[in-house]
Structure 1
Amino acid sequence: MEYIKRVESVFEVIAEPNRRAILSLLVSSQQSVGEIERQLRMTQPAVSKHLRVLRQAGFVESTVDAQRRLYRLKPDPFQEVDAWLAPFRRFWSAHPLT
């Protein structure tokens, strides 16, 4: 039951479109709040709010580089999503779209 609650929580976090956009940016490289802000045309408070949620859920971590904080992805929650999707991939493979 705890696993199901954890997976539900992970999906709740990534259900928000702005958070998915931030995660997509971080796939290619670590980014600062300012870089995310500019690329997604979001306000700094909005970016910071979404990064806080992503950090608390374990999707991202940050490091300090001089006077800015750089955010990067952490693999654990993505591995949980991948594990949950595995049986569905087998189903899709067995039932290709026609």
Structure 2
Amino acid sequence: MACFREFGEAVRAARESMGWTRVQASLKINDLCQKRESIVSPDALEKWENGRVLPKIEPVKAMAHVYGKPELIDLRVQCIEFLKRSDRRDCHDSICG
């Protein structure tokens, strides 16, 4: 989906601008995640960056803080709104990962 790709490109650009590997970024993001079910692995980060999956809100908030990019939250919200408008229930399984 285009919105997933746009979100992923923004996440990748933010991480790369910090000069971090996915492992380094996932460790920093996990430090800020409040919920244990929101543990971010390097593999999950790769899926998000490649636009295959849209993350839950908790890791997005942590990424926005770690990367200093609050617009990541808005991008995720826009993707969810797009999915709701398009009523694409077949995409629901791809929303959270």
TM-score clears 0.5: no
TM-score using structure 1 length: 0.29
TM-score using structure 2 length: 0.29
Which one scores higher on RCO, CA 8 angstroms, separation ≥ 6?
Answer: 2
Query: Which structure features the higher share of helix residues?
Result: 2
Query: Which structure features the higher share of strand residues?
Result: 1
